[in-house]
């Protein structure tokens, strides 16, 4: 297969979207700007052809393109995006390697890169499976034998579409349809890479499974798609770790995660997002929970310059439960961390719990937009939201926009919000115990997110710990 | 031989002078009691010595072994062998007690001890003050009783083995057994480590256990009397008026 490079001017696409949002341009103008930026029907067809996709996938992409042009720009799209130097996207850059089954087959420079991130080691030590993504193409797939024996399918999205087209089709973008919003539509059109996991009935995986995504080249943006289906009575903990090397230009990321937990199934989905500071991370995360199913989101949104992440669960079956624990950190001027979990109660006796903690310093901005909706018929629903902000200096901002839509009278919906500053007396106490200011500060910051740290496997808690400490080194560097 | 010297210290808090020209000097192995009515400035003195930002030193200096440590960061003072047990230690719910004790042990001794050894030291320090290990899993002072707080402060002193230790009312709110445990800890470090003390107290009882070399009385931010143990007895029997009038 020959290499293809199709340039797409994402900066222009975003700016046109912002102009459309504020009605500075007509729909007609928007269309022509997008086309000039390289987002055209023939380009989408070319992507689909190169990937040798089935007809339904191409149709979905084209539908995505159509909707992207038609749908209004969401008003929550932050203005800060306009000022960024977003790099163009080179669509479908084929790396110089096929899909490898073990590390010896992976070219050295790519291996070294993963080595630096410590992925190979942690996989050996601990993780049951790994699908890593370098540029747009999976280079490494390894599903441990026990998983295969149990009938668990874990494949790159590309391979899954080839091998299990019907299974993928049944769920792909059904939980998060392209019609949802403009950038979900864009994702549908450009989606590339990601992981597909299917856990058969009654299979309960105890060891977490990891997919480690990397934005490889500066010219690369990612539209990866992760889809996990847990069949009845099954369970899985999937860890999505994200890290990116230093990139010279801002890079746009519009990924998607769909989780489907069937009756009595449980999916825990953990993300540690530590992308470099010039990534714009736009993530669409949504889950369906059937009868008595459980969805647990754990999210550490630490890196990236602008990040918009709203893990959402639709509790569609009676007795379904969902929790969402989110930590965001904005620690540089211009950092914008937008987050907020959405819980939609659509069946009786459903329960949800949201804990959102944000840490701000050096002028970073954290925004919380949560939604609790109790639909008509979802009787005896219970929802609890806790939203805490810790601000380490006076130039930092935090905004909270909780939203409740409750259609059933017997619903129990509780909301708590706290804004905290660094407690000087606590800091002094720690210093009088011989602990220096930096260490004491990071102890207090880590203490602030302790209830979320406790949900992480040890290796990840340690990693989160280190990332936060490293970031706090910069505390007070801008004043 | 270590010596803490407070020279001519004048301290202001919120624009108000609360300590005026205080002089005090404690050598290793000595026990000094510091008494004085409520609000006379005892706690302020201890916080000013440790370098609390709110307590601004307007005049004078603090020397440890001849080195001027007046403007050092609190943790640097601790590293040089100074310790303070707080009268009212602040609750830190978000940090587990075990995390704090391990962190301070490592900060003080450097991370040369294995984590398992550190944990053992931490556990025995808690047991040495008559508490059970399970308290280590709670937030720092979170919901602790008054006596438990005092004991944990003493446990930390045992862990860090300071040269000079300032104890701000280690005996307040402590039961009979607790008082004995705390006095034993004081005496133990004095013998084993030659620790010197400033013990702030309102009661003669603890002084009967630890035998102070000198008793000082602070009133309205100034040292108004210094003397032997008999000063404590006088205060106990006749109240502060008896010594302050002189
Ligand atoms: N942070 C502060 N802000 C305002 N005033 C303060 C502060 N700290 C101490 N003071 C005042 O300084 C004076 C001395 O207080 P301090 O706590 O040192 O007294 P003390 O001798 O320790 O009393 P006690 O025996 O009751 O513990 C008091 O009048 C107190 O109100
Ligand atoms: Mg006091």
Phi, psi of B216 (to 5 degrees): -115, 150
Stretch A204-224: mean pLDDT, rounded?
A: 66
Between CA A265 and CA A203 the distance in angstroms is 9
Using an 8 Å Cβ cutoff, are A36 and A89 in contact? no
Of A11-20, A49-58, A327-336, A455-464, which range is least confident?
Answer: A455-464
Mean pLDDT of A385-391: 94
- Looking at the CA of B47, which ligand is closest? 1
Q: Where are the alpha helices (DSSP H) in A291-436?
A: 424-432
Contact A86, A249 (CB under 8 A): yes
In chain B, which residues have their Cβ closer than 8 Å to the Cβ of A448? 94
DSSP A239: E
Which atom in ligand 1 lies closest to the alpha carbon of residue B44? 18
Distance CA A153, CA B19 (A): 73
For residue A444, give how far its alpha carbon lies from the nearest alpha carbon of chain B (Å): 7
From A413, A341, A415, select the one nearest A385 (Cα to Cα): A415
B197 and B26 in contact (C-beta within 8 Å)? yes
What ranges make up the beta strands (E) of A162-234? 194-199, 209-214, 225-230
Distance B38 CA to ligand 2 centre (A): 7
Given A423, A431, A450, which is nearest B75 (Cβ)?
A431
Which tens digit of pLDDT belongs to each residue from B190-228?
999 999 999 999 998 999 999 999 999 999 999 999 999
Tell me, in angstroms, the distance from the centre of ligand 2 to residue B49's CA: 14
pLDDT for res B91: 97
Assess whether pLDDT exceeds 70 at residue A127: no
Between CA A153 and CA A332, with CA A225 as vertex, the angle to 5 degrees is 130
Average pLDDT, chain A: 85
Q: Tokens 């205080």 — which residue?
A: B22
A36-78 pLDDT, tens digit each: 998 999 989 988 988 889 999 999 999 999 999 999 998 888 8
Asked if A233 and A260 touch (Cβ cutoff 8 Å), the reply is no
User: From ligand 2's centre to the CA of B16, what distance in Å?
Assistant: 17
Distance from CA of B35 to the nearest CA of A (A): 23
Nearest CA in chain A to B50: A432
Q: Where residue A479 falls among pLDDT bands split at 50, 70, 90? A: very low
Query: Which of the residue ranges A30-34, A130-134, A257-261, A461-465 has the most confident prediction, judged by mean pLDDT?
Result: A257-261
The CATH-assigned architecture of domain B3-180+192-229+236-241 is 3-Layer(aba) Sandwich (3.40)
- What pLDDT does residue A253 have? 83
Lowest mean pLDDT across A222-226, B52-56, B61-65, B122-126: A222-226
Instruction: Give the residue extent of every domain in chain B.
Output: 3-180+192-229+236-241
Residues with C-beta less than 6 Å from any ligand 1 atom:
B 13-14, 18, 36, 38-44, 54, 87
Q: Tell me the best of B17, B18, B168 to mutate to test the pocket of ligand 1, counting ligand atoms within 8 Å of each CB and taking the most.
A: B18
Measured by CA distance, the residue closest to atom 28 of ligand 1 is B39
- Burial class from Cβ neighbours inside 10 Å (0-12, 13-18, 19+) for residue B47 reads buried
**pLDDT value at B110 more than 90:** no
Summarised one tens digit per residue, pLDDT across range A327-347 is 999 998 888 999 999 999 999
Nearest Cα residue in chain B from A431: B75
Q: Do A429 and B94 make contact, defined as CB atoms within 8 angstroms?
A: no
Q: What's the gap in Å between the CA of A18 and the closest CA on chain B?
A: 41
Across the interface, do B75 and A423 touch by the CB < 8 Å criterion? Answer: no
What is the DSSP secondary structure assignment for residue A79, as one 8-state letter? G
CB burial of A263-295 (b: ≥16 within 10 Å; e: otherwise) equals bbbbbbbbbbbbbbbbbbbbbbbbbbbbbbbbb
Q: Which atom of ligand 1 is nearest to the CA of B40?
A: 21
For residue A198, list its beta bridge partners.
A153, A229
- Show residues of chain A in contact with B93, CB under 8 Å: 447
């Amino acid at each position: 297969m020959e290499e293809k490079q199709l340039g797409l001017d994402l900066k222009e696409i975003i700016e046109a979207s912002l102009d459309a949002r504020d009605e500075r341009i007509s729909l007609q103008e928007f269309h022509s700007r997008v086309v000039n930026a390289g987002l055209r029907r023939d380009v989408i067809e070319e992507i689909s052809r190169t990937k040798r996709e089935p007809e339904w996938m191409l149709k979905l992409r084209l539908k995505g393109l159509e909707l992207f042009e038609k749908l209004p720009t969401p008003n929550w799209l932050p203005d800060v995006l306009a000022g960024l130097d977003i790099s163009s996207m080179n669509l479908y850059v084929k790396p110089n390697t096929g899909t490898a089954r073990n590390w010896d087959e992976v070219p050295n420079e790519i291996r070294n890169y993963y080595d630096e991130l410590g992925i190979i080691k942690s996989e050996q030590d601990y993780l049951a499976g790994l699908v890593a993504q370098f540029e747009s193409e999976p280079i490494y797939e390894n599903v441990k034998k026990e998983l295969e024996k149990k009938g668990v399918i874990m494949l790159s999205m590309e391979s899954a579409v080839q091998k299990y087209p019907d299974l993928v089709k049944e769920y792909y973008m059904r939980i998060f349809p392209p019609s949802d919003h403009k950038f979900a539509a864009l994702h549908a059109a450009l989606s590339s890479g990601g992981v597909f996991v299917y856990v058969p009935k009654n299979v309960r995986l105890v060891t977490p499974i990891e997919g480690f995504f990397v934005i490889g080249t500066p010219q690369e943006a990612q539209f990866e798609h992760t889809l996990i289906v847990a069949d009845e009575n099954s369970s899985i903990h999937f860890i999505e770790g994200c890290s990116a090397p230093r990139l010279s230009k801002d890079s746009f990321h519009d990924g998607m995660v769909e989780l489907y937990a069937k009756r009595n199934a449980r999916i825990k989905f953990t993300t540690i997002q530590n992308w470099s500071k010039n990534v714009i991370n736009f993530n669409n995360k949504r889950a369906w929970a059937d009868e008595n199913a459980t969805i647990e989101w754990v999210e550490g949104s630490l890196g990236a310059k602008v990040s918009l992440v709203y893990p959402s669960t639709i509790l569609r079956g009676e007795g379904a439960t969902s929790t969402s624990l989110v930590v965001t950190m904005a620690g540089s001027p211009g950092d914008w961390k937008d987050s907020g979990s959405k819980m939609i109660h659509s069946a009786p006796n459903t329960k949800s719990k949201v804990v959102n903690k944000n840490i701000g310093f050096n002028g970073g901005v954290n925004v919380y937009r949560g939604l609790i909706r109790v639909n008509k018929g979802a009787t005896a629903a219970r929802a609890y939201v806790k939203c805490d902000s810790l601000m380490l200096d006076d130039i930092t901002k935090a905004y909270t926009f909780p939203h409740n839509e409750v259609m059933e009278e017997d619903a129990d919906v509780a909301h708590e919000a706290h804004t905290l500053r660094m407690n000087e007396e606590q800091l002094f106490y720690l210093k009088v115990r011989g602990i220096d200011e930096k260490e004491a500060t990071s102890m207090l910051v880590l203490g602030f997110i302790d209830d979320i740290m406790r949900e992480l496997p040890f290796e990840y808690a340690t990693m989160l710990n280190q990332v936060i400490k490293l970031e706090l080194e910069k505390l007070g560097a801008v004043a | 031989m270590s010596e803490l010297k407070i020279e001519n210290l004048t301290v202001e808090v919120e624009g108000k002078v609360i300590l005026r020209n205080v002089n005090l000097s404690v050598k290793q192995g000595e026990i000094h009691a510091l008494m004085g009515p409520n609000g006379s400035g005892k706690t302020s003195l201890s916080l000013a010595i440790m370098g609390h930002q709110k307590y601004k030193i307007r005049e004078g200096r603090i020397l440890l072994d001849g080195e001027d440590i007046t403007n050092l960061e609190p943790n640097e003072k601790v590293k040089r062998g100074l310790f303070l047990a707080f009268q009212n230690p602040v609750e830190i719910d978000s940090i587990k007690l075990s995390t704090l004790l391990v962190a301070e042990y490592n900060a003080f001794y450097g991370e040369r001890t294995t984590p398992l050894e550190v944990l053992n030291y931490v556990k025995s320090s808690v047991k040495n003050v008559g508490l059970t290990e399970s308290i280590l899993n709670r937030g720092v002072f979170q919901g602790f009783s008054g006596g438990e707080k005092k004991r944990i402060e003493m446990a930390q002193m045992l862990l860090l083995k300071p040269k000079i230790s300032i104890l701000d009312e280690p005996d307040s709110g402590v039961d009979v057994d607790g008082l004995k445990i705390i006095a034993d800890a004081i005496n133990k470090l004095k013998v084993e480590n030659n620790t010197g003390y400033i013990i702030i107290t309102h009661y003669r009882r603890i002084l009967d256990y630890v035998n102070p070399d000198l008793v000082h009385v602070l009133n309205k931010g100034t040292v108004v009397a210094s003397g032997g143990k008999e000063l404590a007895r006088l205060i106990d029997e006749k109240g502060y008026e008896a010594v302050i009038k002189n």
